[in-house]
Chain A
């Protein structure tokens, strides 16, 4: 079994690449404090304690279809966002979720699509994301009644994405969370 698994990533085509691919993408984020994707699947021991402790059921557990990331936690913010209760951070036994403060959480960065946002294209005076943001006036503020993100304060919790009433043609929302910090490199 072991030998077969070792060879699988070396398979030609997309099969091998898929097995090693990261499940993190737009609106698919690691829980708060997650270490960069480069080492997350290595550090996480798939104990599921973050999933069990999450009171909002925000964290889902991946299965074998996610390749080597099977069993790792993921927050699908368009389904259920993270309410930043920081319980998962306290129970992680491996340090895959670093013990950080709520305001230091960087699950990703909210990005407003100005071609879809109702306030930006002028359809209506929508400020749902501004109202929902746990760091209103810091992470999202209104600039001439249009929402603007401040990357210095945005935690990437996804409350804005979850609340956004606009669905873009590509299936996303008018404000999406991009996991830019998950792409950090830890090794030289």
Chain B
């Protein structure tokens, strides 16, 4: 958990009245649920022939309700230049969520986020450090260039790249391949690479190299839900900055920036209730 695990006196944890890990616990529950959905579903499909739900977070079909990941849909649309209405309608809900809530898919649903969260917690069992030092920092703006480069490369190749090399999609695909065909696809090493990069810098892939994250961040530029700083209550202790998986400084007001993915780690980490989610 994000609470101080290193030898603090119990009294130090007392002043906070509300439970300190409100959002973290909820987020872990949602992440686990979202991961279980794509883990259990192939088994239901394969062994029980219950095909009410199909797919994973590239495109999910729940009965007649379809979702299509915005970047995958956009790539398909740009390259073939022929719009397909069901695909556009299916992209609507994810786009609206990103538009109003920002990159919440990344922090609250994405299976990669779940695996990284597990990895983090597993690592904390072994090492005493709550957070590792960021060993490699790259300019945040790179996120936009990665998105643009990905689209251009796909257009040049004439085939969408992210659809078969996206780590979030690969997790679902590997689980399905394992259940259906009893084998794993080689491209799954990308997932392992992304998880290992976590040792280099927290959420190294997510914060700058995920084109889907870039698109969702772009859609969420004018989002309604933001982490706001109440300047009067802030003591400048820097806990929020250490807790932020994206390497932002909420105490400097970066919770409203385009790079924030509304995970709520900083809100939980703040001992002085200076950070809040606010709908505006």
Contact = CB atoms under 8 A, between A and B. Distances in A.
Interface of A: 1-3, 5-6, 9, 20, 39, 41-49, 51-53, 55, 57, 60-61, 63-65, 68, 70-71, 87, 91, 93-95
A48 B90 CA distance: 16
Contacts of A45: 58-59, 68-69, 72-73, 75-76, 160, 163
A112 B169 CA distance: 41
Interface residues of B, number: 49
Given A43-B76, A95-B84, A49 B54 contact: yes
B139 interface: no
B229 to A, nearest CB: 36
A168 B200 CA distance: 56
B177 interface: yes
Given A2-B150, A45-B160, A47-B59, A52 B176 contact: yes
Interface stretch (B101-109, B181-189, B218-226): B181-189
A47 B161 contact: no
Contacts of A48: 54-56, 58, 172-173, 176
B18 interface: no
B187 A52 contact: no
Interface in B124-170: 146, 149-150, 153, 156-161, 163-165, 169
19 contacts: A5-B153, A39-B80, A41-B159, A42-B79, A44-B163, A46-B58, A52-B42, A53-B54, A61-B173, A61-B181, A64-B164, A70-B164, A87-B51, A91-B54, A93-B59, A93-B61, A94-B59, A94-B76, A95-B82
A48 B174 CA distance: 11
A93 B80 CA distance: 14
A121 B118 CA distance: 64
Interface of B: 41-42, 45, 49, 51, 54-56, 58-61, 66, 68-69, 72-73, 75-76, 79-80, 82, 84, 86-87, 90, 146, 149-150, 153, 156-161, 163-165, 169, 172-173, 176-177, 180-181, 185-187
B156 A6 contact: yes
Given A52-B45, A55-B49, A57-B180, A93 B86 contact: yes
Nearest to A61: B177
Contacts of B73: 45, 94
